[in-house]
Structure 1
Amino acid sequence: MTYTVLFFTHSGSIKFERKCSKNNIQCELMPVPRSLSSNCSISAKINFEGNIQDLIDDEIEKIFLTENSNNKLIYEAE
């Protein structure tokens, strides 16, 4: 499955990329798509087949499931 992950800060996106790399998860940092909003201008696109809850930490603002260019919000920090 493909997810788009939005962060509160740039440093949060860098930490997330390192965590993905350490766990052999394909991760690409990129600008936040125009259709999505964020406090930070960096997002991550990941391909992940496990439980997405396992990747959530305090740095993540939102997670979208991305299918056929459609983004479905599946997580939003409180």
Structure 2
Amino acid sequence: MNHFIATFFSQYGAVQFLKLAKKNHIPCRLAPVPRFLSSSCGTCAHFSGDGWDTGFVMKDLEIIYKVTDTGYEVIFQTDESSRMQ
């Protein structure tokens, strides 16, 4: 099982992600974003799974990182222009 960190443009997005994760039985918790990762709202979701795609990418989702032995790998990033539509 892999560990992932999702960052969000708003705290509302982080809370909605947590609710959907729990509803879909995905282990998830909210926490402050690690200092060296960028985030607009300062809240991130730590979640675990075989893959990063939870099936509910939302407009407030900013970046998903895979936690590796050497740090963090960006595996999904929202296109900012698509967020504005």
**1:37 aligned counterpart, secondary structure:** coil
The residue aligned with 1:52 is 53
The alignment's C-alpha RMSD in Å is 1.4
Give distance in 2, aligned partners of 1:28 and 1:69.
Answer: 22
- Aligned positions, number: 78
Moved over 6 A (4+): none
Name the % identity: 28
Task: Report the AA paired with residue 44 of structure 2.
Answer: S
List alignment gaps of at least 5 residues for structure 1.
none
The residue aligned with 1:76 is 77
Tell me which structure has the larger Cα radius of gyration.
2
Task: Report the AA paired with residue 26 of structure 2.
Answer: I
The residue aligned with 1:63 is 64
Residues 1-78 of structure 1 mapped to structure 2, 5 A cutoff: 1-50=2-51, 52=53, 54-68=55-69, 70-78=71-79
List alignment gaps of at least 5 residues for structure 2.
80-85
Normalised TM-score (structure 1): 0.91
Decide which moves more: 49-58 or 32-41: 49-58
